Structure 1
Amino acid sequence: MKAFGKFLGLGLLGLLLIIVALGFALTHLFDPNDYKDEIRQLARNKAHVELTLNGDIGWSLFPWLGLELHEASIATLNNPKQPFADLQMLGLSVRVLPLLRREVQMSDVRIEGLNLTLLRDEHGHGNWEDIGKPLPDPNATASNQPAPAEGAPAQPSAQAQASSERAVKLDIDSLTVNNARVQFTDEQSGKSYGAESIQLSSGPIHDGVNTPIKASAFLSASEPNIKARTELVGDLRFDRKLKRYSLEDMRLSGETSGEPTAGKTVTFAAQGQVLVDLGANVASWSGLKVSANQLRALGELSLRDLDKAPQISGGLSIAQFDLRTFLDGIGHPLPATADPAAFAKLELVGRLQGTQNSIAMEDLAVKLDQSTFTGRVAVEDFAKQALRVQLKGDTFDADRYLPAKSDEAKGAKAARQAEVKQQEASAIAGAGTTPLPNAPTQVAWSNDKLLPVDRLRALDLQADLSFGALTLDKLPITDAQLKANGQGGLVTLETLRGGLYNGTFEAKGTVDVRPAVPQLGVNTRINRVPVEHFIKRESPDQAPPVKGLLTLSSDLTATGNSQKALIDTLNGNASFTINDGVLVNANLEQQLCQAIATLNRKQLSGEPRAKDTPFQELRGTLVVRNGVASNPDLKVRIPGLTVNGQGDLDLRVLGMDYGVGVVVEGDQRAMPDPACQVNERYVGVEVPLRCRGPLELGAKACRLDQDGLGKVAAKLAGNRLKDKIDEKLDEKLGDKVSPELKDALKGLFKR
């Protein structure tokens, strides 16, 4: 037995030496470069590809089956002169003996200068689809195709092939790709995409073992024009039997620029643990960290139903960042706002839900500057840009986020303020002795565009917002609720309501941007809100012309896309009542006193005293036509006095022109000056006033109407003459005639 073992060992050693000798002889005496034509023909017949070998072939046999190709290219048989892939060098070695066990054990695999060109033609056919396909036989038909020989082995099924592939064990020491390039061109869309200077290196590649990888490339796209530099590192792990693939400790970084960023460079990074399980049709990204310039986000994402309709879920948190600076850095700057510091602070956290066509942030918490919002924001259809918003905020100052006024608008405002100041300087409060102010001429409104028409036409919106405190046009609204929807260019404000200075208001309306010129309609209800808060003033310290509790109902329409255009085309109706009010710095009693002194042909002894005139009620209706509101029935109730008026409010220049009559109802109160003592002769007499000038002046722009006052004086003189005649008749006739005859004689003088 010992001798047999000895002879067996010597035999095996001899066999090994013979194999080594054969390998040496084959690799040194046999040159594969002499058989390039046979190799090309073999590639045509078996692999159905056109193989071009311009460089040398290097090889080894045992214990490694080594192969090294230089200057090679591959094309389809349909288009052999246009290779879809070429390379400068491919080097690999396969251990021979493990192949007998269906194990692929490779040493280092190196690929240098790979150039992959993919093309989809105008018919949608890709050149890669013909790889491995033989040329069609022009003489073959479906009826004369040769039938499989009897007893020939059947072709293996796809399931059997897949099982065979899964049984092969892959084992590679390392993979290195240098200076590779991939170019894809789609002639149908005219778009192209590319990856250049691709560098890839890996550690040992084994099934079920972490493989360190590092890759970098320069990416590009034609429409839109984008360029990016990327680098990826991580540990790749795969299990082909379970169809599980993971990239642990993944770190992706780089920078990009192009048309979407207006040529500005954006630095980005992402990291986390990525898992794809094709067996369970799920994927996940845990420990997610993403950054783009100064934006930082954390979270976790998961995908399910990968084989059907993938659905995404997870959580996302974005740390506080400057939204204005960020958007400017990615080439999408925000328009200038009334407050330059608006959008300086933004942070959010929420739960993400999405499908292929939609995305939603549930349980959303957002902090924008000094405001906090909670609720839901979703895009229910990407194609339709269907935006759905349900948010509840604590406080929000909307004025800060309105577009900043242009220089033209600022100039127009300054010009009108100068005109108002000039008129106010010449109007002595309550005196009524200066000339009547001129009607204003400066336009009070801006030509700046108000509405983003193109965006509104594409908008599909449903919004439901509420605020604990909302500031809008400097009005502090409490418990505000806003509901709006928009689709196809028609935006409907279902309601905007809330509390305002212990009163209430509600507005409804529509914005129709489907026509070339936008059309607006608004319906407003205001209940017992202090009117002074609606009156524009140059500064908060400036006194308003009138105070009181306003109740207003209006229904108005307008067309245009600027303040000026909307006011110029404003039409509709309104009614208003102001209760428990005050005409500020306007003493109607002083105006009345001046009129009575004039009728008494006396001079006032004291200087006019500027003080307010309280009133019980001021009411009227407005008919608005092209920016001019006609008020035919102004009524003001003042204790002892009634004020009637009619006139126009020119909203285009915020001017007024009124005729006003002040009537003494019978309260013969003590006047501040003996020259204007009221007696029974003035009861029921209407003293005429004319009010003209900027609306901000209020009653300070009112003066005695001298022409009307002359008519009143003539009427009073006639009444005085009649009284004297009646008195004389009573003295002369006494009881000599009957009362009926006496009245008849008095009636003659009335005529």
Structure 2
Amino acid sequence: MKAFGKILGLCFLGLLLILVALGFAVTHFFDPNDYRDEIRKLARDKAHVELTLNGDIGWSLFPWLGLELHDASIATLQNPRTPFADLQMLGLSVRVLPLLRREVQMSDVRVEGLNLTLTRDENGHGNWEDIGKALPREPAAGELQAPNVANAEQPPASAPDKADRPVKLDIDSLTVNNASVHFSDAKTGRELTAESIQLSTGAVHDGIDIPVKLTAFLGTNQPNLRARTELNGQLRMERALKRYQFSDMKLSGEASGDPLQGKTVTYSAQGNLNVDLAANVANWENLKLSFNQLRALGDLSARDLSTEPKVAGGLSIAQMNLRAFMDGLNQPLPAMADGSLSQFEMVARLEGTRNSLALNDLAVKLDGSSFAGNLAITDFAKQALRVQLRGDSFDADRYLKPKSAEASSAGAARDAEVKTTEATAIGGAGDTPLPNAPTQGAWSNDTLLPVERLRKLNLQGDLSFTKLVINQWPIDNATLKVQGQDGLITLENLAGGLYDGSFSTKGSLDARPEKPLVALQTQLTKVPVEHFIKGKNGSAAPLRGLMTLNSNLTGTGTSQKALIDSLNGTANFDLTDGVLVNANLEQQLCQGIATLNRKSLTGTPRGKDTPFQELKGSVVVRNGVASNPDLKVRIPGLTVNGDGDIDLRVLGMDYKVGVVIEGDKSDMPDPACQVNERFAGLEWPLRCRGPIELGAKACRIDRDGIGKVAAKVAGDRITEKLEEKFGDKVSPELKNTLKGLFKR
């Protein structure tokens, strides 16, 4: 037995030596370079590709089937002269015996200088679609092609056999050096490139973690961008289950290009990426994202990968300076107040498709203001924006464009004009001339409306704020509903509380014409008017009271000046509990009465202000000038009627005011200002002209009108004397004639 075993061992050893000798002989005396044409034909017939071998072929046979290809290229049979891939060197070795079990056991695989060129023609056909496709076979002479019968009976599907099982991979390592991929689309002109690709892995087996490191330079021409990127992580493959996991993934790099105009951005992403192709789902766990100053955390998942991919998850952006972030992308934001957009943070639940993105359960903090709600772009192609937000306190003035130097200069010129006019307008005695009407414009020529953006706007907005500041007006519990499409923006409602009163506005903005048309209908209810007519340098407003206003106005243009110059419409107003500040109209009237009585005032003014119980009227606006023919003011013992204009273009007024004295109601009237029955019911004339900020300081006694009043009073006194002396002896015709003499 021992001898038999020894003999058997010697035989086995002999066979092994023979195999080794045979392998040595084959690899040393058989040169595959002599069979290039046969190898190309084999590649053409079996793999359906055009293989070109310009370099040497090195190989070994046993126990490793080793192969080295140098300077090779591959093309499709449909376009054999245009290779889609070429390489400088491919080196690999495979164990021979495991191949019989459909197991690929390789040592190190090394690829040098791989260039992959992918193209899509103007018909949308890609050259990679022809890889492995045989040329259509032409029928031989006399051979008939089989008819294409759509309903022909198909053979039953055979049960999967061992050939359908995936090949088992077992590779010690994979190294790719200096590879590149180039994609071009003839129809769109778009190009994508990946250059200087360096890839290295550890052992490649199913079901184990494979260390992966990849570096590359990525680029695109629409827009012109280049990025350097590096990818590291642990890749696990379960090909039989079609599951793939990339754990501890770290992606980082930097990018530059035309949109950044010389600036460079840095980016990084981390997390665990899982893909299940059998279930058509994927998820990205423990996502950490950075992009310059932006820092974000979240979890994302995707479903329906092979049909219509849908993404969902949560995203949180840490506090950042949004203005600095946009500057870093060379996308500077418009000039605003200092500190605007310096504090921004966000938390949201994200949902998206190829053509939409929604941020639900959104929570945003911006410069001390907080917002909650939903924000969505329902159609990227149509730029359809849908906004539903609730905010606590928001100062919109901080985000308005500041006045230009031209507008500031114009405002300074008008302020100087008002100051000069105010210095010469001394109220009280009423002996100075009327102030001059203002001439300097009060409004800015700066573009107020971004017309081009508004014409493309597709918006539905529903906003509410606990407190909203617009044009320095604090609006409590503000609500805003707006929608816009194809250049027509409709303000369905803007309402809220204003200085303990309330207001509501609706209207439209039609940006389709060359000059946009604005239409507004506004209602104010008991809003303190002094907040809208402010004095200069912190001084008190010239008028106080609770204003109720209804207006319907239209204007055209893109600036404040253009809108005011073209303003047309109607309005009516009613001011209650009103007070003219620092203007004692009663004193001025007493001065006029004392003049008629030929006496001097001896008492001191009772107060600096003039209170009134009612102020109302209607307004018709034509091209920026508001005409008010029926001004009505009621003061205890006094009624004021007015007829005049307010030129909104320069904020100037020109009024004729008639004061009807109903009697002095004070306990101790000034003797020179006593109103007897002769003056009761008379309308005493005043004239008000100048900047609207002056209020009653711009009013003077109308001396021409006073002369007519005096003539009427004198005529009434003569009539009284005639009545006393002659009674009914004088005819009515004579009385009227005598009275007419004093009325001329």
Aligned to 2:315: 316
Give, in whole Å, the separation in 1 of the partners of 2:242 and 2:433.
Answer: 94
Match of 1:695 among 692, 695, 718: 692
Instruction: Quickly say closer, same or farther: Cα 1:239–1:512, change in 2 above 3 A.
Output: same
SS in 2 for 1:682: coil
Aligned to 1:325: 324
Aligned to 1:233: 232
Computed over aligned residues only, the root mean square deviation of the Cα atoms, in angstroms, reads 2.4
User: Kindly, what percent of the aligned residue pairs are identical?
Assistant: 67
- 1:660-707: per-residue Cα shift (whole Å, max 9, x none)? 011101236478754433322221121111111111111111111122
Give, in whole Å, the separation in 2 of the partners of 1:613 and 1:26.
Answer: 121
Please tell me the residue identity of whatever aligns with 2:433.
P
Give, in whole Å, the separation in 1 of the partners of 2:599 and 2:708.
Answer: 18
Aligned to 1:573: 570
- 1:379-433: per-residue Cα shift (whole Å, max 9, x none)? 2222222211111111111111112221111111111111111111111133322
Q: Does 1:482 align with 2:480?
A: yes
Give, in whole Å, the separation in 1 of the partners of 2:454 and 2:164.
Answer: 56
Aligned to 1:122: 122
Instruction: Quickly say closer, same or farther: Cα 1:13–1:291, change in 2 above 3 A.
Output: same
Give, in whole Å, the separation in 2 of the partners of 1:183 and 1:165.
Answer: 33
Displacement of 1:634: 0.3
Of 309-318 and 133-142, deviating more is: 133-142
Please tell me the residue identity of whatever aligns with 1:18.
I
SS in 1 for 2:55: coil
Aligned to 1:644: 641
Give, in whole Å, the separation in 2 of the partners of 1:438 and 1:609.
Answer: 29
- 1:36-64: per-residue Cα shift (whole Å, max 9, x none)? 23322332333232222221111111111
Match of 2:507 among 506, 509, 521: 509
CA contact (8 A) 2:664 2:674 kept: no
Aligned to 2:209: 210
For 1:268-279, list aligned pairs within 5 A. 268-279=267-278
SS in 2 for 1:425: helix
Aligned to 2:84: 84
Give, in whole Å, the separation in 2 of the partners of 1:157 and 1:13.
Answer: 48
Give, in whole Å, the separation in 1 of the partners of 2:500 and 2:480.
Answer: 19
- 1:70-102: per-residue Cα shift (whole Å, max 9, x none)? 111112233322211111111111111211221
Displacement of 1:479: 1.2
Aligned to 1:733: none
Instruction: Quickly say closer, same or farther: Cα 1:486–1:663, change in 2 above 3 A.
Output: same
Give, in whole Å, the separation in 2 of the partners of 1:156 and 1:14.
Answer: 51
Please tell me the residue identity of whatever aligns with 1:78.
Q
Instruction: Quickly say closer, same or farther: Cα 1:572–1:743, change in 2 above 3 A.
Output: closer
Aligned to 2:498: 500
Of 225-234 and 3-12, deviating more is: 3-12
Give, in whole Å, the separation in 2 of the partners of 1:487 and 1:745.
Answer: 76
Give, in whole Å, the separation in 2 of the partners of 1:159 and 1:271.
Answer: 43
Aligned to 1:376: 374
Aligned to 1:436: 434
SS in 2 for 1:326: helix
Aligned to 2:31: 31
Match of 1:676 among 670, 673, 676: 673
Q: Does 1:630 align with 2:627?
A: yes
Please tell me the residue identity of whatever aligns with 1:129.
E
Q: Does 1:556 align with 2:549?
A: no
Please tell me the residue identity of whatever aligns with 2:653.
M
Displacement of 1:536: 4.4
Displacement of 1:727: 3.4
Match of 1:366 among 354, 364, 370: 364
Instruction: Quickly say closer, same or farther: Cα 1:198–1:275, change in 2 above 3 A.
Output: same
CA contact (8 A) 1:430 1:609 kept: no
Displacement of 1:548: 0.2
Instruction: Quickly say closer, same or farther: Cα 1:76–1:748, change in 2 above 3 A.
Output: closer
Instruction: Quickly say closer, same or farther: Cα 1:341–1:64, change in 2 above 3 A.
Output: same
Aligned to 1:251: 250
Q: Does 1:52 align with 2:49?
A: no
Aligned to 2:389: 391
Give, in whole Å, the separation in 1 of the partners of 2:202 and 2:26.
Answer: 32
CA contact (8 A) 1:668 1:679 kept: no
Instruction: Quickly say closer, same or farther: Cα 1:744–1:145, change in 2 above 3 A.
Output: closer
Aligned to 1:736: none
Give, in whole Å, the separation in 1 of the partners of 2:428 and 2:461.
Answer: 50
Give, in whole Å, the separation in 2 of the partners of 1:746 and 1:124.
Answer: 106
Displacement of 1:4: 2.9
Runs of 5+ consecutive residues of structure 1 not aligned to the other structure:
148-153, 731-738
Instruction: Quickly say closer, same or farther: Cα 1:715–1:389, change in 2 above 3 A.
Output: same
Give, in whole Å, the separation in 2 of the partners of 1:282 and 1:38.
Answer: 45
Please tell me the residue identity of whatever aligns with 1:119.
T
Aligned to 2:150: none
- 1:482-526: per-residue Cα shift (whole Å, max 9, x none)? 111111211111111111222111111111112222111111111
Aligned to 1:469: 467
Please tell me the residue identity of whatever aligns with 1:667.
D
Give, in whole Å, the separation in 2 of the partners of 1:141 and 1:398.
Answer: 84
Please tell me the residue identity of whatever aligns with 1:293.
N
Please tell me the residue identity of whatever aligns with 1:663.
V
Give, in whole Å, the separation in 2 of the partners of 1:492 and 1:706.
Answer: 51
Displacement of 1:655: 0.7
- 1:264-312: per-residue Cα shift (whole Å, max 9, x none)? 2111100000000011111000000001001100010111222332222
SS in 1 for 2:165: helix
Of 39-48 and 311-320, deviating more is: 39-48
Give, in whole Å, the separation in 1 of the partners of 2:658 and 2:141.
Answer: 107
Displacement of 1:157: 7.3
Please tell me the residue identity of whatever aligns with 1:4.
F
Match of 1:456 among 454, 460, 464: 454
Displacement of 1:718: 2.2
Aligned to 1:6: 6
Of 423-432 and 578-587, deviating more is: 423-432
Structure-1-length-normalised TM-score: 0.93
Displacement of 1:358: 2.1
Give, in whole Å, the separation in 2 of the partners of 1:139 and 1:167.
Answer: 35
- 1:213-251: per-residue Cα shift (whole Å, max 9, x none)? 000111111111111111100001110011001100000
Aligned to 1:304: 303
Instruction: Quickly say closer, same or farther: Cα 1:742–1:100, change in 2 above 3 A.
Output: closer
Instruction: Quickly say closer, same or farther: Cα 1:668–1:286, change in 2 above 3 A.
Output: closer
Structure-2-length-normalised TM-score: 0.94
Displacement of 1:113: 0.7
Instruction: Quickly say closer, same or farther: Cα 1:683–1:712, change in 2 above 3 A.
Output: same
Instruction: Quickly say closer, same or farther: Cα 1:52–1:375, change in 2 above 3 A.
Output: same
Displacement of 1:721: 2.8
Displacement of 1:9: 1.6
CA contact (8 A) 2:166 2:239 kept: no
Of 409-418 and 292-301, deviating more is: 409-418
- 1:8-54: per-residue Cα shift (whole Å, max 9, x none)? 22111111111111111122222222222332233233323222222
Instruction: Quickly say closer, same or farther: Cα 1:287–1:455, change in 2 above 3 A.
Output: same
CA contact (8 A) 1:531 1:549 kept: yes
Give, in whole Å, the separation in 2 of the partners of 1:140 and 1:329.
Answer: 68
CA contact (8 A) 1:298 1:316 kept: yes
Give, in whole Å, the separation in 2 of the partners of 1:743 and 1:83.
Answer: 123
Of 35-44 and 95-104, deviating more is: 35-44
Of 105-114 and 454-463, deviating more is: 454-463
Displacement of 1:143: 6.2
Displacement of 1:174: 0.7
SS in 2 for 1:681: coil
Displacement of 1:160: 4.4
For 1:525-674, list aligned pairs within 5 A. 525-539=523-537, 541-604=538-601, 611-667=608-664, 669=666, 674=671
Instruction: Quickly say closer, same or farther: Cα 1:131–1:307, change in 2 above 3 A.
Output: closer
Give, in whole Å, the separation in 2 of the partners of 1:553 and 1:672.
Answer: 40
Aligned to 1:292: 291
Give, in whole Å, the separation in 2 of the partners of 1:618 and 1:146.
Answer: 99
SS in 2 for 1:324: helix
CA contact (8 A) 2:48 2:76 kept: yes
CA contact (8 A) 2:718 2:739 kept: no
Give, in whole Å, the separation in 1 of the partners of 2:717 and 2:518.
Answer: 58
Give, in whole Å, the separation in 1 of the partners of 2:98 and 2:302.
Answer: 39
Give, in whole Å, the separation in 1 of the partners of 2:247 and 2:452.
Answer: 45
CA contact (8 A) 2:646 2:652 kept: yes
